[in-house]
Amino acid sequence: MNYRVPVWLKYSLNVEEASAYFGIGCKTLRQFIAEHDDENFVLMIGSHVRIKRRLFEEYLDLNVSIL
C-alpha cells in the first residue's frame, strides 16, 4: 500500500517537504536546524531530521527572522 498524505496534514516533514511548504531553501533550513537542534520542532529519527510542522509554524509565527 502506498498512502499519499497531503503535506499540510502531516505531523512531521522532511527537509525537502518543509522547504517547499514554508518557502525556505533547503540549504537555509538545514543550517537553521543545525543551529537549533535542541528546539521542540526538531525530531531526530536516527540520523534523519524531521520537522514537526505545526510546532515549526508556531515558531515562525512568533519570530521575525530565522537567520
Tell me the three cell numbers of residue 66.
530565522
pLDDT per residue as tens digits for the range 31-41? 999 999 899 99
- Nearest residue to 16 (alpha-carbon basis) of 66, 61, 50: 50
Per-domain boundaries in the chain: 7-62
- Nearest residue to 14 (alpha-carbon basis) of 31, 30, 32: 30
* pTM given for the model: 0.86
CATH assignment, 7-62: 3.90.105.50
pLDDT per residue as tens digits for the range 3-58? 899 999 999 999 999 999 999 999 999 999 999 989 999 999 999 999 999 999 99
Q: What dihedral do alpha carbons 67, 40, 18, 25 form, nearest 10°?
A: 20
